[in-house]
Amino acid sequence: MSLLGKKSVSSLLEAALKVFWYLIIVILVTTVVLLFIDLFNPGFFKENASFSLSLFGPGMNINIISELIEPPRPALFLLIICIVLSLALAIIYQLRKIFATLADNNPFTIENSKRLRIMGILVIAGSLIYHLIGYVIGLSTVKSLATLDIKDFKFQINFQPDLGMLFMGIVLLILAEIFHRGCHLQEEIDLTV
Amino acid sequence: MQIKVNLDKIMLERNITLTELAQRVGITLANLSILKTNKAKAIRFSTLAAICRELQCQPGDLLEFIEE
């Protein structure tokens, strides 16, 4: 099976991305509905809700559960899911367009280099937004923990962006630039008689 | 400034069609059309030589420098 053209790996991936695209739209719409339910009916998801904090490590998973601390609003988590899904939709949209050009055997276009650049920016911005919201939730959690009367315990939080995702975004931006130059070379070749 | 290709003028003088010239020169009709419509960014010496050979002309007859 060839990599480019009709009935190739590219066209198969394009079809798979189409399925993903619609699946994510369905999940996003459901999440938005749940978000609005929580915003306009704050007690809806609160039954049996308790504060829970998990600590992960090699071979262990420590859960700290407390009935004294107010758990964060589900709306916050639903908002994070909405943002992540929206970013995923935007990235998949660009990928679908790129794979469509691969299926048409015409990948070296300026539009594709722009799409790669948009994907790079989305990955960097998305990663920063995702971790900033996580940090804000962490701040409120630490604030809640500080209200507990636990002696000799100090709760701290540090902002820790995902360097891997930032690196991936930068790599995409560099690839977009290389692709952009490749497109110009392709144009030169196409218009050389 | 740009280079203008006077291919259509010489073809008219020699009474030769684009399809016929493409066949005789050995390039595609699409490529010759790019050259004729001044969309080409470059021309190979081999192509230029073949066109000059078939049209019995000099490169200077085909190409014209225009100052804008």
Spans of all domains in chain B: 2-66
Q: Per residue in A67-102, pLDDT tens?
A: 777 777 788 888 888 988 999 999 999 999 998 888
Residues of A in contact with B27 (CB under 8 A): 193
pLDDT at A44 over 80: no
Residues 26-45 of B with CB under 8 A from A: 27, 31-32, 34-35, 39-44
- Is residue A142 very low, low, confident or very high in pLDDT (cuts 50, 70, 90)? confident
Q: For residues A42 and A74, give the distance between their C-alpha atoms in angstroms, rounded to a whole number.
A: 9
**Higher pLDDT among residues A185 and A6, named by residue:** A185
**Residues 162-191 in A contacting B (C-alpha not used; CB under 8 Å):** 187-188, 191
A99-108, A116-125, B59-68: which has the minimum mean pLDDT?
A99-108
Residues of A in contact with B39 (CB under 8 A): 191
Distances (CA, A) of A113 to A17, A98, A119, A177, B12: 19, 9, 10, 7, 42
Fold of B2-66: 434 Repressor (Amino-terminal Domain) (1.10.260)
What's the CA gap between A67 and A69, in Å, rounded?
6
E strand intervals along B1-68: 2-5, 63-66
pLDDT on residue A181: 93
Residue B1 has pLDDT above 60, yes or no: no
pLDDT at A166: 92
Contacts of B41 in chain A (CB under 8 A): 187-188, 191-192
Q: How many CA atoms lie within 13 A of B20 on its CB side?
A: 8
* Distance from C-alpha of A62 to C-alpha of A75, rounded to nearest angstrom: 25
Over residues A20-36, the pLDDT tens digits come to 999 999 999 999 999 88
Pair A165, A123: CB distance under 8 Å: yes
Look at residue A134 and give its three-state secondary structure.
Answer: helix
Q: Which of A187, A188, A193 sits opposite B44 (nearest CB)?
A: A193
* A11 and A5 Cβ atoms separated by less than 8 Å: yes
pLDDT attached to residue A27: 95
* Mean pLDDT calculated for residue range A104-109: 82
pLDDT band at A133 (very low <50, low <70, confident <90, very high): confident
Q: What does the domain layout of chain A look like in residue ranges?
A: 9-190
Residue whose C-alpha is closest to residue A65's, from A123, A148, A7, A140: A148
- pTM for this model (two decimals): 0.73
Q: Are strands B2-5 and A60-66 parallel, antiparallel or unpaired?
A: unpaired
- CA–CA dist B35, A116 (Å, integer): 32
Higher pLDDT, A169 or A152: A169
